[in-house]
Chain A
Amino acid sequence: MKWKTRLLACLTVFLLFHVLTLWITPRLIMYKVISTLNKESIADGKLEHFPAISDASSRKIVMPSPDILYSYCVYDLSKGQIHITANPNLSSYWSIAFYADNTDNFYTLNDMQLRTLDTNHPLSIWLKKDNLDHKLSNQLGKNEEVNSPSEKGMVLMRVLAVDYANNQEKLDQARKTLKCEYPIK
Chain B
Amino acid sequence: MLFTLATILGIGSAWYVMRYAQFTTNAQQISGWKTLSTPISHPSETEIISPRILYSRAITAVRGLLALSSEETIYFVRYTDKNGAELKANCTYQINGATLPARWWSLTAYANDFFLFDAPNHIFSIDQSRAALDELGQFTASIGPTPLKDTYWIPTIGKESVVLTLRLYQPENDLIHHLNDLKPPEITPVGVCS
B39 pairs with A104, CB closer than 8 A: yes
**In the complex, chain B residues whose CB is within 8 Å of the CB of A50:** none
A-facing mask of B116-159, CB < 8 A → 1, else 0? 11110010110101000000000000000000000000000000
Residues A6-34 near B (CB distance < 8 A): 6, 9-11, 13-23, 25-26, 29-30, 33
Q: Is B82 an interface residue (CB 8 A)?
A: no
What's the minimum C-beta distance from A35 to chain B, rounded to whole angstroms? 14
Q: Is B183 an interface residue (CB 8 A)?
A: no
Contact residues on B (Cβ < 8 Å of other chain), bracket: 35 or more
A104 pairs with B41, CB closer than 8 A: yes
**In the complex, chain B residues whose CB is within 8 Å of the CB of A11:** 6
A93 pairs with B170, CB closer than 8 A: yes
**In the complex, chain B residues whose CB is within 8 Å of the CB of A25:** 14-15, 18, 58, 61-62
Q: Is B79 an interface residue (CB 8 A)?
A: no
Q: Is A143 an interface residue (CB 8 A)?
A: no
A97 pairs with B127, CB closer than 8 A: no
A19 pairs with B115, CB closer than 8 A: no
Given A61-B65, A110-B170, is A21 in contact with B11 using a C-beta cutoff of 8 Å?
yes
Residues B16-32 near A (CB distance < 8 A): 17-18
What's the minimum C-beta distance from B183 to chain A, rounded to whole angstroms? 21
**In the complex, chain B residues whose CB is within 8 Å of the CB of A9:** 3
B69 pairs with A6, CB closer than 8 A: no
A67 pairs with B106, CB closer than 8 A: yes
Q: Which B residues contact A (CB, under 8 angstroms)?
A: 2-3, 5-7, 9-11, 13-15, 17-18, 38-39, 41-42, 54-55, 57-58, 60-69, 71-72, 103-104, 106, 108, 110, 113-119, 122, 124-125, 127, 129, 165, 167, 169-170
